[in-house]
A = this chain, B = another copy of it.
């Protein structure tokens, strides 16, 4: 009974015991009731502390089996994916948007492979700039079967990214990052030299089982995506 009563204090003590204390990898922790007695607080408090430490990736909790210290902690990082406008304006630079291309197409094969069967697709190519310097290319496909009202937007002044954020909810998202060589679009519009490394983010969004949109964001040279925690 040590009168550690807030869930944050409990949390800190749990983490301490795991990281440099007696609870090495694989240890089975005492049950919640027992810990509540030890710390002199309610089971609810212990539960919240353990739940959050579990969310951090340090613990594995299962009914009946109990709470166990993970053999290898799951290392995870959380990134905020900002709108280009917000990212640019946050640096104090002037944001500009330009539509490069807009067409209604059949989805190419690689896209249907990714999004599922598609009929008509709105294909948009546009550019985000910071103080006049090209910053990011947005290459986007919108499934008109799932989102017909997109066809009425001309996207001359507003980027599809912003319009979609304001218009469409999302139930599932897949994001991937990779390094690729600059292609014709990056050379022409971002000013990359051919075959320069490009940081590319791809995101596909589903709503109620239907694929809504897929986007490729190609970043300016030297771009870094960073997070701390």
Residues of A at the B interface (CB closer than 8 Å) are 15, 18-20, 25, 72-83, 86, 165-166, 169, 172-181, 195-200, 219, 222-229
Contacts and interface: CB of A to CB of B under 8 A. Distances in A.
Contact of A197 (B172, B176, B197): B197
A75 B86 contact: no
B176 A179 contact: no
Q: Give the secondary structure class of A's interface.
A: strand
Contact of A169 (B20, B74, B78): B20
A58 B166 CA distance: 12
A174 B227 contact: yes
Report the 9 A-B pairs with minimum CB-CB distance, sorted nearest first.
A19-B169, A179-B179, A197-B197, A176-B226, A179-B199, A179-B197, A75-B81, A178-B224, A174-B228
16 contacts: A20-B169, A25-B166, A74-B80, A75-B81, A75-B82, A77-B173, A78-B79, A172-B229, A173-B229, A175-B226, A176-B227, A177-B224, A177-B225, A178-B223, A178-B224, A179-B198
A79 B79 contact: yes
Contacts of A178: 179, 199, 222-225
B86 A81 contact: no
Contacts of A227: 174-176
A61 B74 CA distance: 29
A176 B226 CA distance: 4
A81 B73 contact: no
A174 B72 contact: no
A196 B197 CA distance: 7
Contacts of A225: 176-178
Contacts of A228: 172-175
Of A15, A83, A173, A198, most buried by chain B (CB within 10 Å of CB) is A173
Given A196-B181, A197-B198, A77 B175 contact: yes
